[in-house]
Structure 1
Amino acid sequence: MNTQRFFIELAYDGTAYHGWQIQPNAITVQEELDKALSVFFRQKVETLGCGRTDTGVHSSTFFAHMDLNEVTVEQAERSVGGVNSLLPYQIAVKRIFKVAGDAHARFDATARSYEYHFHFHKDPFKLNRSWLYKWKLDADAMNAAAALLLNYKDFTSFSKASDTATNNCIITEAYFRPVEDGLVFKITADRFLRNMVRAVVGTLILIGRKEISVAELVEIIESKNRSKAGQSVPACGLYLVNVIYPYVK
């Protein structure tokens, strides 16, 4: 049997879904994608994603891999329109392309980038896609604090309890940029811990509100204690925006 591995690049609005990964008694992005792929290619397709996004989290760039039997490269690449016609409108496949047989959507990724979106005034067109935050924030102070994250590797203070072997991450950028009526926080690292970005943002907000100092942020990081950090911000403003592989352009 001729089996080939393919990567799928997709995007989704996570509002209606309980995250990416299949789980019992809940609708997920992976479930909808696997269902559409299986119908289109007339074989059982099981994808494996580049990570797990939580309930309500969005992705403008997400990768998964799948193995197809007796499907040519040309057939797979030309299937995008047909697969999209079977998917809910909130999920869109961008491209499907062949990769090496041992390519892995999760383990081969060398970097991932997330954005967190805030807006400051009520806007019906940003509902479920950005967090309405009505209090004044000192973006300069938050950027000074965000820059300190690059000096650390152990981010236990910003992670939900998990069975990961290490809580070390290498952050290469972390900053806020102003946008019309809001802010966007961007962070890039080689890996992220469960709930890490939302907890980081929730803590940086405390600095923006002058509730804690930059020195206290250092104490929080070095404590390796989640209870000392800020609350996690709502899922609606979080987006996975980029995933880097050494062999994908």
Structure 2
Amino acid sequence: MNTQRYFIELSYDGTPYHGWQIQPNATTVQECLDKALSTYFRQPVSTLGCGRTDTGVHATQFYAHFDLSVPPDGESIEAKAKLPDPLCSVTGINALLPYQIAVKRVFKVDADAHARFDATERAYHYYLHFHKDPFKLNRSWLYKGELDIEAMNAAAELLLNYTDFSCFSKSNTQTFTNNCKITAAFFEEQESGLRFTVRADRFLRNMVRAIVGTLIQVGKNELNLAQFKQIIESKNRSNAGQSVPACGLYLVNVIYPFVK
């Protein structure tokens, strides 16, 4: 039995889920997706995601890959399901998924294409708002207080000068290195609050939320730029600020050299 590898692009509201990755005794996005794909394609399907978002974190763009068994006579799974092209699978798969998870497209890739290791850049947004808004519940963090946005952006720019971000990483992770190359990090004022954008080749577990939490301390004038640099250079998580709530965090962009 031969196999064909596929990429699947999706988005999800992470509020009701315990993150992306399958866990025992907890509902996750990956679990729901694998069940839907297995039902739709009538064979066991296991996905591998481009990253691992935590409980309550959202994604407007997320990729995963999976393999389908193809009968040796050349009849494709799509043909057996009377679907001429994987793009036609989107409606059927979405019908099997909870409303909080939406598949955007499914497409063939080379057998060695990898959703996690082939990504060359990822981007996150973090949203804060300053006034109670029922339509932002679980979508943005309600922050009560004033912030020095200019100081926060000055500190965020310093991130581009470093590669070791151990101070912003959750401890006891299974990564071999805490090095990342951040190419952009800045706050923008919006009508109802703030949006933080950060781009890098890779991210560590809890990294963005820890960065934002530490930048908030700069915005509250609890840290100056020299102290912010000392925290990064210390490579010690206990020196950085608290992680901000998951509700404001979105994975928004994942770049591959072979995906348009």
Pick the TM interval, shorter chain: over 0.9
> What is the CA distance between 1:164 and its match in structure 2?
1.1
Q: Structure 2: how far apart are the matches of 1:6 and 1:164? A: 26
Q: Structure 2: how far apart are the matches of 1:111 and 1:211? A: 32
**Aligned in 2, Cα 1:238/1:94: closer, same or farther, shift over 3 Å?**
same
Q: Root-mean-square deviation (CA), in Å? A: 0.9
What is the aligned partner in structure 2 of residue 243 from structure 1? 254
Q: What per-residue deviation string (whole Å, max 9, x for no partner) do you get for residues 37-70 of structure 1? A: 1111101000000000000000000000010123
What is the aligned partner in structure 1 of residue 191 from structure 2? 180
> What is the CA distance between 1:163 and its match in structure 2?
2.4
What is the aligned partner in structure 2 of residue 100 from structure 1? 110
TM-score by structure 1 length? 0.98
TM-score by structure 2 length? 0.94
One-letter identity of the residue aligned with 2:65: H
What is the aligned partner in structure 2 of residue 18 from structure 1? 18
One-letter identity of the residue aligned with 2:208: V
Q: Structure 1: how far apart are the matches of 2:176 and 2:29? A: 27
Find 1:211's aligned residue among 219, 222, 230. 222
SS in 2 for 1:137: coil
> What is the CA distance between 1:109 and its match in structure 2?
0.4
> What is the CA distance between 1:134 and its match in structure 2?
1.2
What is the aligned partner in structure 2 of residue 36 from structure 1? 36
Find 1:126's aligned residue among 130, 136, 146. 136
Instruction: Establish whether residue 146 from structure 1 lines up as the match of residue 162 from structure 2.
Output: no
What is the aligned partner in structure 2 of residue 170 from structure 1? 181
Instruction: Establish whether residue 229 from structure 1 lines up as the match of residue 240 from structure 2.
Output: yes
Q: What per-residue deviation string (whole Å, max 9, x for no partner) do you get for residues 192-221 of structure 1? A: 111000000000000101111011000000
One-letter identity of the residue aligned with 1:112: R
Percent identity, please.
71
What is the aligned partner in structure 1 of residue 60 from structure 2? 60
SS in 2 for 1:7: strand
Instruction: Establish whether residue 27 from structure 1 lines up as the match of residue 27 from structure 2.
Output: yes
Question: How many pairs are equivalent?
Answer: 249
| Regions of 4+ moved over 6 Å | none
One-letter identity of the residue aligned with 2:142: L
Unaligned stretches of 5+ residues in structure 1: none
One-letter identity of the residue aligned with 1:159: S
SS in 2 for 1:11: strand
SS in 2 for 1:227: helix
> What is the CA distance between 1:3 and its match in structure 2?
1.4
Unaligned stretches of 5+ residues in structure 2: 71-76
Q: What per-residue deviation string (whole Å, max 9, x for no partner) do you get for residues 78-136 of structure 1? A: 10000000000000000000100100000000010001000000000000000000111
